[in-house]
């Protein structure tokens, strides 16, 4: 397998950012306090069924996000070119605004929108519940997901956009699976994060604002060009 595509500047930097954005989404006030409810809906009874239900739930919203990421990546292929610099700046302004939304700014953007769909509880309804969760637009998940979609647009590729969305889904979904599997450290961590949820929200907002400013000022491209220069001679294969 050739890893040259993953080692390219944009993905080398964007993949960990996308994963971290997913983790921040999990730790948001829209998701973390409702973790027991989500796990209760996806399955009951045995531990194995809870783990399987959480996997199906994560698979459901991963499919949604991957389609979105691939779509934005494909759109980047069409609209970039001579317009790349201006599109990056506009995207950066949007990401900065989304960071302020996470901080509680822009009252109109604080409204929570949810799909009025209630899938059947249990393993059968778990994937659909994941899809509904992925399509539900909330102030908590929206900013981080939008930032990742902007990165997918910048990647300018169907496959790269899908890869970034997968990294985001992994950051969001892995904690669900770890808690469902009964890992003690995961369960204890959830309690600690609940106590510091506001600080985590602020951290996520600062991350988005910093990313947006990099895009607006053009420093994002400078960093990418530097990474490309450093990694251009390193293309491991398996």
State the Cα–Cα distance between residues 232 and 213, nearest whole angstrom.
26
Q: What is the pLDDT of residues 178-189, one digit of tens each?
A: 888 876 566 677
Q: Is 198 within the bounds of a domain?
A: yes
Torsion of the alpha carbons at 139, 145, 147 and 153, rounded to the nearest 10: -140
Q: Is 170 within the bounds of a domain?
A: yes
Q: Is 76 within the bounds of a domain?
A: yes
First-last CA distance in the chain: 5
pTM tops 0.85: no
Q: Which residues of the chain are modeled with pLDDT < 50?
A: 1-9, 108-110, 115, 234-238
Q: Which domain holds residue 194?
A: 9-226
- Alpha carbon 188 to its chain centroid, in Å, reads 23
Q: Is 50 within the bounds of a domain?
A: yes
Q: Is 3 within the bounds of a domain?
A: no
- Residue 181, classified by CB atoms within 10 Å of its CB into exposed (0-12), middle (13-18) or buried (19+), is middle
Q: What is the pLDDT of residues 101-122, one digit of tens each?
A: 878 765 544 455 554 555 555 6
Q: Is 234 within the bounds of a domain?
A: no
Q: Is 231 within the bounds of a domain?
A: no
Query: Which DSSP state fits 33?
Result: G
Q: Is 207 within the bounds of a domain?
A: yes
Query: What is the number of structural domains in the chain?
Result: 1
pLDDT of residue 4: 44
pLDDT of residue 59: 93
């Amino acid at each position: 397998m050739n890893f040259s595509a993953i080692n390219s500047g944009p993905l080398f930097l964007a993949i960990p950012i996308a994963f971290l954005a997913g983790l921040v989404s999990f730790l948001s006030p829209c998701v973390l306090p409702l973790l027991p409810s989500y796990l209760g809906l996806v399955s009951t009874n045995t531990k194995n069924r809870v783990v399987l239900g959480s996997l199906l739930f994560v698979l459901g919203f991963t499919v949604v996000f991957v389609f979105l990421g691939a779509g934005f990546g494909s759109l980047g292929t069409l609209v970039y070119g001579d317009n790349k610099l201006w599109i990056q700046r506009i995207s950066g302004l949007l990401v900065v605004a989304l960071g302020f939304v996470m901080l509680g700014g822009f009252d109109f953007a604080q409204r929570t929108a949810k799909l009025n769909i209630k899938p059947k509880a249990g393993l059968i309804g778990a994937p659909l519940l994941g899809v509904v969760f992925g399509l539900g637009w909330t102030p908590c998940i929206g900013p981080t997901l939008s930032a990742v979609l902007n990165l997918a647009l910048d990647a300018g590729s169907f496959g790269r956009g899908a890869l970034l969305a997968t990294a985001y889904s992994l950051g969001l979904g892995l904690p669900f699976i770890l808690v469902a599997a009964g890992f003690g450290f995961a369960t204890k961590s959830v309690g600690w994060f609940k106590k510091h949820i506001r600080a985590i929200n602020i951290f996520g907002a600062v991350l988005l604002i910093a990313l947006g400013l990099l895009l607006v000022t053009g420093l994002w491209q400078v960093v990418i060009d530097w990474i490309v220069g450093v990694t251009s001679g390193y293309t491991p294969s398996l």
